[in-house]
Amino acid sequence: MSKRWLFLSAAAVLIVVSLALVLLPGDKNDEDVKTEAGHAATASVANSPSATGTSTASASPSALATGASKKPSATQSARPTATSVTPSATKARQQAADTASLAGRIRPGVTYRGVATFYDADGGGACLYDPGDDVMTGAMNTTDYESSKACGAYVLVHAAGGATVTVRITNECPGECAPGQIDLSAQAFAKLANPSAGRIPITWNLVSPSTSDTISIRYKTGSSRYWCGIQAIGHRNPLARLEVLAGGTWRQLQRASYNYFLSESGSGCGGAIRLTDIYGEQLTVPALAVRPDVVQPTRLQFAKH
């Protein structure tokens, strides 16, 4: 056998052995590698936030860290993003939320629908204000009266024909008055329609009128340093809270359905008083003597809105 033949035989054996090693079980050929690479790429796309709808908060920490390390461009740093909120907008929203939480059922900027009726009013009634010369008053239905929260509120009443009248709520219209209904003084009703109509459809809304009057404070009959009831009179805007200073701390008093704030234990009676309207404005009244059933004036008034 020639040397050339022996060489060719040995080369053939080496080729067969190499092929066997390449095709052993558990090894991957080029096609397998390509297929698995394709699956990995597909899985990567399928699991990305844009494909699944997942927020970027679910991205890996390393990806987030990489993005955070990049400096914003000049354009990005020069203007806020579409989701940024200016301080003034935030303040306005907070004020709106505060007003909504302080106000009761009757809120600024809301139009209410109901009917108007009338009765012989003298300015007195469930709110325990004194009768007076102001006859542009009304009795609010029990639902919107809301256990005296409506007392002292000014509402602008609109009739269907376009006539309007502003009245102050001084009384409660009991059960026969439906939500939205106001039982007006006869004089106020006459500004909207002929009294012969008796009952007319209306809309109404809260207002904050101009006034030269200031707020007065009155202690209820029977008040002393052991128990007292306190009433605020003449406030331009509805009153949300009345607090007394006791032991260096402001203590909020509960409001009775007859429009007095009560200190059952006498805490704070005769001390400083803090008034808060539904817009969040606070006025502090210096300490007043406990003088039952005496109207004591202050120099304070809430701002017009």
Q: What pLDDT does 97 receive?
A: 54
Provide the pairing of β-strand 112-119 with 182-185.
Answer: parallel
- The encoded tokens of residue 170 equal 């001084």
Q: What pLDDT does 100 receive?
A: 59
Q: DSSP for 253-280, please give it.
A: PEEPTTS-EEETT-TTTTS-EEEEETT-
Q: Are 238 and 150 in contact (CB under 8 A)?
A: yes
In sequence order, the β-bridge partners of residue 263 are 228
The alpha-helical segments, DSSP class H, found in the chain are: 3-22, 30-46, 49-52, 61-69, 74-78, 87-102, 142-145, 186-190
Q: What pLDDT does 290 receive?
A: 98
Q: What pLDDT does 38 receive?
A: 41
Residue with structure tokens 């004036």?
Answer: 297
Residues 6 or more apart in contact with residue 202 via CB below 8 angstroms: 113, 114, 115, 116, 157, 158, 159, 160, 182, 192
- The parts of the chain modelled with pLDDT lower than 70 are 1-100
Q: What pLDDT does 13 receive?
A: 44
- 3-class DSSP state of 215: coil
Q: What pLDDT does 102 receive?
A: 95
Q: What pLDDT does 89 receive?
A: 55
Q: What pLDDT does 90 receive?
A: 57
Q: What pLDDT does 176 receive?
A: 87
75-103 pLDDT tens trace = 343 333 333 445 555 555 555 555 658 99
